[in-house]
């Protein structure tokens, strides 16, 4: 029944959704009515040409997709043969150059087991933790502080370095590093994914209300476009924007401000064979990398 609901939510039209599901329109309408009666909530507003989801319908659409994704994952894991190593590994992460080591381990694992597929979901720490808690991810890559009472974790040796992305013609571009007072009167572009904002504000020695914040961003590419257009100076992590041959440059903060990195998973997590192999492969790769 959830599949029927999602089809209608996607098409915004019962007739079109019925055709895509190979059902008659009366059958699909009846299924939707039974779902609303079972939940005791109106999920859709039926217009003359278009279906609109109610607030409850929007919530159900999100939860229904998560439920079906989890059911699909579980089915694939249960039906996989005992001999074959073939399946899916789901990893959630923010924007970080540390993903290079995750990608290197993934590539190495696939050389031995080409049937393993990786699915990377990008998001901030709240997004990653929510998907971990619901069982939709095997692993999460988190920056900064983590809840060590809630998750099993492996501290990664890589560190992300905070700095400022700016135009090459900026007076600050002449400096090797940027001081807090250099930015007190500058238009700032801040990441909405900063998990340790308090550390950043401590570095700046200013409260948020005292700063000239002109924009926030979720993806560094969009921030780089705002910087290129002269909107301001973007706080960003090193190595995420290739400034070679562009009119942008990156300058680290002084004193240096770093973020630690962790690979985390639920304490109650039951790993598939593929996930166990990936964890072992990553540990071996990092041991070699650290030498």
Q: Which residue has the higher pLDDT, 165 or 148?
A: 165
Q: Which residue has the higher pLDDT, 153 or 49?
A: 153
- Return the minimum-mean-pLDDT range out of 29-43, 111-125, 241-255, 256-270: 29-43
**How many other C-beta atoms lie within 10 A of the C-beta of residue 288?**
7
Average pLDDT (231-241) is 95
- Return the minimum-mean-pLDDT range out of 12-26, 105-119, 163-177: 12-26
pLDDT value of position 76: 66
How far apart, in whole angstroms, are the C-alpha atoms of residue 18 and residue 119? 30
Q: What angle do CA 5, 11, 13 make, to 5 degrees?
A: 85
Beta partners for 162? 237
pTM for the full model?
0.71
| 175-191 pLDDT, tens digit each | 999 999 999 999 999 98
- Return the minimum-mean-pLDDT range out of 51-60, 90-99, 271-280: 51-60
Checking if the pLDDT of 140 tops 90, the result is yes
pLDDT value of position 14: 83
Count of CA atoms in the C-beta half-sphere (13 A) of 3: 9
For the chain, percent of residues with pLDDT exceeding 70: 93
Checking if the pLDDT of 66 tops 80, the result is no
pLDDT value of position 83: 55
Calculate the alpha carbon distances from 284 to 168, 170, 265, 268, 278 in Å: 40, 43, 18, 24, 10
Average pLDDT (263-282) is 91
Checking if the pLDDT of 144 tops 90, the result is no
Average pLDDT (112-132) is 90
Checking if the pLDDT of 164 tops 90, the result is yes
Checking if the pLDDT of 20 tops 90, the result is no
| Residues 91, 122 contacting (CB under 8 angstroms) | no
For the chain, percent of residues with pLDDT exceeding 90: 49
Checking if the pLDDT of 81 tops 60, the result is no
């Amino acid at each position: 029944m959830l599949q029927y609901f999602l089809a209608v939510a996607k098409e915004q039209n019962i007739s079109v959704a019925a055709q895509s599901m190979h059902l008659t329109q009366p059958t699909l309408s009846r299924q939707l009515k039974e779902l609303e009666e079972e939940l005791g909530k109106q999920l859709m507003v039926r217009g003359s040409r278009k279906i609109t989801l109610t607030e409850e319908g929007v919530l159900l659409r999100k939860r229904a997709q998560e439920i079906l994704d989890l059911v699909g994952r579980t089915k694939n894991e249960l039906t996989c043969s005992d001999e074959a190593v073939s399946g899916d590994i789901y990893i959630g992460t923010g924007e970080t150059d540390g993903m290079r080591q995750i990608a290197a381990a993934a590539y190495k694992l696939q050389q031995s087991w080409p049937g393993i597929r990786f699915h990377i979901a990008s998001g901030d720490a709240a997004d990653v933790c929510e998907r971990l808690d619901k069982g939709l991810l095997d692993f999460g890559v988190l920056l900064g502080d983590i809840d060590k009472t809630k998750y099993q974790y492996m501290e990664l040796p890589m560190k992300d370095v905070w700095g400022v992305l700016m135009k090459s013609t900026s007076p600050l571009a002449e400096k090797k590093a940027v001081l807090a007072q250099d930015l007190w009167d500058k238009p700032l572009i801040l990441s909405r994914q900063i998990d340790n904002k308090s550390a950043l504000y401590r570095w700046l020695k200013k409260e948020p209300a005292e700063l000239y914040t002109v924009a926030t961003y979720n993806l560094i590419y969009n921030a780089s476009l705002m910087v290129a257009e002269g909107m301001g100076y973007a706080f960003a992590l090193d190595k995420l924007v290739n400034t070679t041959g562009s009119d942008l440059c990156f300058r680290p903060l002084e004193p240096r401000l770093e973020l630690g990195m962790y690979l985390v998973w639920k304490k109650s997590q039951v790993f598939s064979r593929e996930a166990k192999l990936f964890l072992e492969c990553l540990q071996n790769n990092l041991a070699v990398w650290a030498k």
